[in-house]
Amino acid sequence: MTSTSYVQQQRITRLCVRCGLLLMQYGAESAVVVDLSKRLGLALGMNSVECSLNFNALTLTTICDERCITTTRDTINQSINVNLLVQIQQIVNKTEATTDKEELTALTTRAFDELDRAIYPPWLVSIFVGASCAAFAYLNGGSWSITAVTFTAGMVAMLTRIYLSKHHFNPFIAVIATAFIASVIGGTTYYFDIGNNADIAVASSVLLLIPSFPLINSFSDILKGYVNIGVGRAVFTYMLTLSACVGIVMALVLLQIQHWGF
């Protein structure tokens, strides 16, 4: 008679893979995904937990009393949510610190069900993104009029990106459309002779498309030995950058701007 039933091990396996999927979907690096998934399984009574990551999938095996259960799940990229990642880490820490193991799996499952997934409203995110683009334009010597145009371009572009993502557009198409709209609005400074340097408006309007967080994660994964997923994330990041360039070039061609650049 084993101390942990097969059904109970199945529940723990599903909970561990759920933990790993949430971490991957919301931007955690691979080392954190593997570490927290393993720690959660061990805290719930497993003898061993093995975890293997791919760019769009997670495979996890739990071992208890010489019995193995393996499951594979697909993952879908979501927007970065550090608050959610911190909550998951706190759940794992609380599970490890609990001495009473009875109903621990049910309590941990309930904690995952009650994760706070609240996000800021799109209009607020767009305002702050526009303000950050405008601040960059101002710090690079742009006049107040250039700063105002950059703010408008960044805000409208972010609203566009949020809308397209919400309606499940291909991420590369969404980036192309966002870069195009931001560049068109920023490029109006050429035609209406607004401000002291129109180049600053065009360049600053597309800063929201720089994939800094995924790029850092890809380098971190490669350096920590997760080469496959690190290379996959790096290629995805470079494709996003290329998509942004395509959108900018399309806008410049449409506006017939031949002399853009510093």
Radius of gyration over alpha carbons of the chain, in Å?
Answer: 23
Lowest mean pLDDT among 34-43, 185-194, 241-250: 185-194
Q: For residue 164, what are its two tokens? A: 């397209």
- What are the pLDDT digits (tens) for 161-198? 999 988 889 999 999 999 999 999 988 888 777 877 88
- pLDDT score recorded for residue 1: 38
Phi, psi of 65, deg, nearest 5:
55, 45
* Residue scoring higher pLDDT (236 or 257): 236
Q: Contact at 8 Å (CB) between 174 and 224?
A: no
CB proximity list for 211: less than 8 A, separation 6 or greater? 237, 240, 241
Q: pTM value?
A: 0.84
pLDDT band of 259, cuts 50, 70, 90: low
* Residue scoring higher pLDDT (50 or 214): 50
pLDDT over 70 (residue 41): yes
225: left (phi > 0), else alpha (psi -120 to 50), else beta?
left
Average pLDDT over the chain reads: 89
pLDDT band of 214, cuts 50, 70, 90: confident
Q: For residue 181, what are its two tokens? A: 């709209």
Lowest mean pLDDT among 28-32, 181-185, 212-216: 212-216
- What are the pLDDT digits (tens) for 132-167? 999 999 998 888 999 999 999 999 999 999 999 888
The dihedral over CA atoms of 15, 17, 20, 25, expressed in degrees to the nearest 10, equals: -110
Q: Please compute the mean of the pLDDT values over residues 222-237 and round it to a whole number.
A: 90
- What are the pLDDT digits (tens) for 69-88? 999 998 887 778 889 999 99
pLDDT band of 27, cuts 50, 70, 90: confident
Q: Please compute the mean of the pLDDT values over residues 54-60 and round it to a whole number.
A: 89
> E strands, 65-162, where?
67-74
What one-letter code names the amino acid at 153? A
What one-letter code names the amino acid at 22? L
pLDDT over 80 (residue 262): no
- pLDDT score recorded for residue 260: 58
pLDDT over 70 (residue 112): yes
Q: Please compute the mean of the pLDDT values over residues 25-54 and round it to a whole number.
A: 91
pLDDT over 60 (residue 2): no
CB proximity list for 167: less than 8 A, separation 6 or greater? none
